[in-house]
Amino acid sequence: MLGWALAATIVYCFARSNGYPDLLEHQGLTRCPTACHKARSVAFSAAKVWCTGLNAFVYSRASRNALTPGCNGWRRVLRISLLGAGLTFFGVAMSEHLLRRAGFNGKQLLRLSLAGACLNVPYRILLSAAVTQVMWQMVHALGSTAPLV
């Protein structure tokens, strides 16, 4: 799983550096949008949410302003925390989006994206194991109770 995540990270970063679009990037409406343009924008936003996942979409929108580079003090701590959480909880596309939004590019972007994959894969494996264990315990508990007569 880690091998696939690392390979996907390299391919995705290469594709984005060659101009492929970012699904999590926000394109605003024109000053006087027509009804057709509004409908197309809503449909495109719905497709973005479908492809990236609601959690990643909301996280990218909520953290947008806090990721600006060059901040000091508590905003720097917030920025680092948001990046760390995003790299851990979300996959390749979200990691690359957050790092670009935070001002990283080139080899530094690739290195941090690879580090994000190394954080995300163990998190997802641990989460899957925990959910499986809880489900197993529930099935075991339901199977061991004697029926009331």
Q: How far apart are CA 3 and CA 7, in angstroms?
A: 6
69 Cβ partners below 8 Å, 6+ apart? 102, 103
Q: Is 36 part of any domain?
A: yes
Q: What is the DSSP string of 90-109?
A: S-HHHHHHHHHHTT--HHHH
Contact between residue 88 and residue 126 where contact means Cβ atoms under 8 Å apart: no
In a domain, 112, yes or no: yes
Q: How confident is the model at residue 26 (pLDDT cuts 50, 70, 90)?
A: low
Rounded to two decimals, the pTM is 0.74
Q: Please give the pLDDT value at position 32.
A: 64
Domain count across the chain = 1
Give the pLDDT confidence of 40-80 residue by residue, as tens digits.
Answer: 778 887 887 887 888 888 898 888 888 887 778 888 889 89
Domain with 18 in it: 2-144
Which residue from 48, 49, 116, 109 is spatially nearest to 82, judged by alpha carbons?
Answer: 116
pLDDT for 102 beyond 70:
yes
Asked, for residue 149, whether it belongs to a domain, the answer is no
